[in-house]
Structure formats: structure tokens, C-alpha cells
Amino acid sequence: MPQFHYLLEGIAIGVSFIQAWSLDHTLDINNTTTAEIAQSVIRDHIYQSYVVQNGLRLLRKSINSEAGFR
């Protein structure tokens, strides 16, 4: 998409300094955890890292569900 060219170019330059990385696109229906994080950032004003805020523990059920674990 042309409107994202400069943003994507900046990301590509930034990650070029990281030795091992990948970027994958997935449909929202297959990635509800990221939608939950984005909604909580907006709704609850959680601007600090989820690692700092114990977010991974709070999202464990959702993450495990998407990964196919019960």
C-alpha cells in the first residue's frame, strides 16, 4: 500500500540491524490476542510494556487458545 511506504521503509531499516527477525501477516480472526492488547491500550490507557504489567500472564488463556493449547 503506497500510503505505508515510508513507515515500512523505516521499519525495514530498523530491523536490518537485528540479526534474526521475521514479520508475518495474519488475519484478525486468527490473532485476537493482539486485538485485545490494542483495545486495552486504548480503553485502559496501558502504555507501558505488557511484560512490565504482567500482561503475558493476564493473556495466557487467549494466547494458549490461539496456539491450539487447552
Structural domain count, the chain: 1
Q: What is the pTM of this model?
A: 0.41
3-47 pLDDT per residue, tens: 788 888 888 888 888 888 777 777 877 778 788 878 877 888 777
User: Could you tell me the pLDDT band of residue 56, with boundaries at 50, 70 and 90?
Assistant: low
Measured distance between the N- and C-terminal CA atoms of the chain, rounded to whole angstroms: 37
Given a cut of 70, is residue 65 above it in pLDDT? yes
Instruction: Summarize the confidence of residues 55-60 as an average pLDDT.
Output: 66
Which residues span the domain enclosing 27? 2-67
Q: Are 37 and 59 in contact (CB under 8 A)?
A: yes
pLDDT at 35: 82
